[in-house]
Structure 1
């Protein structure tokens, strides 16, 4: 297994974030579904330098709350 920069991978998946002029992304926590050559599925986690496990948990919990709130009533989003 080799470490790879995540930016080009996310770009290739069409991932984007909405930011206003002057906004600064202070840290990032990425969760990815990985399928290996045998078809086995695993979870990969990456975070920006200096992001502690406490901050990772906070970002994850906050994201889960947002996803839960915005997914109520959505059709076609599985």
Structure 2
């Protein structure tokens, strides 16, 4: 990404529209990021501190998800020391 405000605005607009957490397609997002990084002059495969690998995790949806999170929270909760 270049330092000029126009390219930064274009990059942020792309991320807002195509990010997988916002309902975008993963392949489109990864390909678009590669294009932005190539335009910035970064060599393929190199990483700086802001370009970590993209990992998409599918989570459970609905009531099963809520029950799972509640169970995980109960496991992590500290036991009271005073009885």
Q: What band does the TM-score fall into relative to the shorter chain?
A: under 0.3
Which of the two has higher C-alpha Rg? 2
**Which structure shows the higher strand fraction?**
1
Q: Which has the higher helix share?
A: 2
**TM-score, normalised relative to structure 2:** 0.27
